[in-house]
Structures are given as C-alpha cells and as structure tokens.
Amino acid sequence: MSIKNGNVRWAFDLRSWRCTLNDLELATACIQPEEKDRLAKFHFLDDFKASLVGRLLMRQFIKVCLPELDYNAIRFERDSRGKPFFRPNATDQIAAHIDFNVSHHERYAVLAGSFTKNFNENNRQLVGVDVMKMEYSGGKPLSEFFRLMHSTFTPNEWQFIKARSGEQKQTDAFMRHWCLKESYVKNIGVGITIDLQSIDFRLSTVDLSATDIVRNSVVSFEGAPQNHWVFEESLLDNDHCVAVAVKNPSTEYTTELSQNELLFEMIDFERLMKDAKPLIAVDSEYSRKVLGKQLKKTL
C-alpha cells in the first residue's frame, strides 16, 4: 500500500472479499467500540461490509503515514457534521497536515488521502472522494428520471449529459457529474444539503478511462470560478467511475506527481489488515450475527 508524495488512492473490491467468521472477528476487533456499535445498526450485510472496510482503510492510511504510531493507538473522532477525522494524542509530534475521505457504492469502497508536510495553516490541501456505479435501474424511462432529477444539474451540465448518444452514455455522463458534485461537497463538508444547481462543472474530456486520469474538469460555485481546485476522474472498471476533489493542491501534488501516479490502487483484505492490532476483544457472537444479515444483492 503506497503513498505517493503524500497522496493515497486506494480501492477495495467488496465482491472479491468472501469474508469468513475469522475475517470478521479480526476486522471488528480492530475498530473503535463506538464504530462497532454504529455498524451493528446496518440491516444489510453489503452495507456493513462496505462501511467496515471504509473504517479499516482510514486506519491503514494513518498507519502508512505515521509508521511510528502503534496501530491500536490510532483514534478517530467525528466533527459536527459527522465526518471522521484523525485525533492525535497530545504527546504526538506530527509536523504534517492529514486529510482523508472515504466513499462506497455497489462493488467498491475507496479512500483518498493527503499527508502534507509543507503546508500553510490557512491553505491546507483537502480531499473529497466519491465512487458511483454507472447504472440506472430505477424502473421509470430514463427521460422521466432525468425530468424528476432536473434540479440536480445546471443547464450546462444537462447539455453535456443529453448530448451523449444513447441511454447508457447519458447514464454514464449523469453518474459522472453526480460523482464530481459529491466529491466537491464532501471536500467542503456540507454534503448534498446545498443547492446542487449552484455548483456547475464544465467537462473538457468526454470519456473516462481506467488507465488515465482526467484533470481538466473545472467548477464554478454560484457563478464564480473556483480556483485552487483539481478534480481527478477515472474508471475503476467498465461500470464504476471515481472522482477526487483536491482543494489547495500542494507543491508536491502539482509539480512532483505525473499524470497517472494517482490511479487507484486495488487493496485486498490481507493488505488492508497489514500491521493491524485489535483495539477491543474479539466478539464471536457479534460476528456471527453480522454473517446472518441479508444481502441487498449478490456482491
């Protein structure tokens, strides 16, 4: 699991993880008690697994950034909006700014992280990430779905979406715009509670790729161009797009990273649990109950 000039892009394929009882016993002992309680409320096994992997990705990210820190000493708290953040101990001397964000949808859980050593307190590099399956399965005709979702996008964005040829291409473009907006609002920490038409993306590259990162999409907010932002877009596979919103990109990010160094790295369970140490006692009964949860769909 690599960190490139202070930046991390990891993806976990949930479909590839056929979690055993032993897997769950270990994994659920390596998260904080309050997160364990939070996860227990998920009705479906799919959602439980995705959120659990997200928590473990966060822990592994901090461990990679701060290898001198004991795994079971890593502590997260949540801000007023519920977003997790790393809380170092008062005695930890960390001369760097750490920011990260996680997302999951359908097959993938992803993490984007930033570990910036040379930073200005008023100009810190921040990240937001979102992943989307490029599929519409709502039952209604796509045109009716677009009509109902009219307020989601600006006229400029709808023009781009509807100019694509065929329903699948239009669906791809819709999900791509949604992914970009989610990454942006997650970065600024407001979620999708704001008017999404106040955010206007202009896309210069028509199609995304799994082998190249697109970085030329730009955004305006309430008509004002938003400078000091970079948006990374790519595909994880033919069906899933991913977007990373980088605010105040550092010098290392802008000058020392090649175009495709930040393609998402696929992480399996063994690598996810590297150097993991339990924080709490193994709970076999809890893990058995989790394995008894229903699936929304087959992963």
3.90.470.20, 1.10.40.60, 1.10.10.10, 3.40.50.300: CATH of 126-247: 3.90.470.20
Each domain of the chain, given as residue ranges in start order, spans 1-98+109-115+258-299, 126-247
pLDDT-based confidence at residue 2 (cuts at 50, 70, 90):
confident
Report angle CA 203, 106, 198 to the nearest 5 degrees.
Answer: 35
- Whether the predicted pLDDT of 79 surpasses 90: no
Which pLDDT value is given to residue 38? 95
pTM above 0.85, yes or no: yes
Percent of the residues in the chain that have a pLDDT greater than 70, as a whole number: 96
Tell me the pLDDT band of 92, cut-offs 50, 70 and 90.
low
With cut-offs at 50, 70 and 90, classify the pLDDT of residue 91. Answer: low
1-98+109-115+258-299 matches 126-247 in fold? yes
Give 1-98+109-115+258-299's CATH code, choosing from 3.90.470.20, 3.20.20.80, 2.40.50.140, 3.40.1080.10: 3.90.470.20
Residues 6+ apart with CB under 8 A from 103: 54, 109, 110, 129, 130, 131, 182, 186
Q: What is the mean pLDDT of residues 133-141?
A: 92
Separation CA 290–CA 45 (nearest Å): 7
Separation between Cα atoms, residue 174 and residue 213, nearest integer Å: 19
Whole-number pLDDT of residue 181: 96
Helix/strand/coil percentages in the chain, nearest 5:
35, 25, 40
Q: Across the chain, what does the average pLDDT equal? A: 92
**Average of per-residue pLDDT across 83-109:** 86
Q: What is the DSSP letter of 153?
A: S
**Per-residue pLDDT tens over the stretch 238-265:** 999 999 999 999 887 888 777 788 999 9
Q: How confident is the model at residue 202 (pLDDT cuts 50, 70, 90)?
A: very high
Summarize pLDDT for 15-53 with one digit per residue, the tens: 999 899 999 999 999 999 999 999 999 999 999 999 999
Nearest to 1 by CA among 83, 55, 59: 59
| SS3 label, residue 149 | coil
Report the Cα 252 to chain-centroid distance in Å: 21
| The pLDDT value given to residue 13 | 97
Mean pLDDT of 275-286: 95
Mean pLDDT, residues 208-237 taken together: 96
DSSP secondary structure letter of residue 73: G
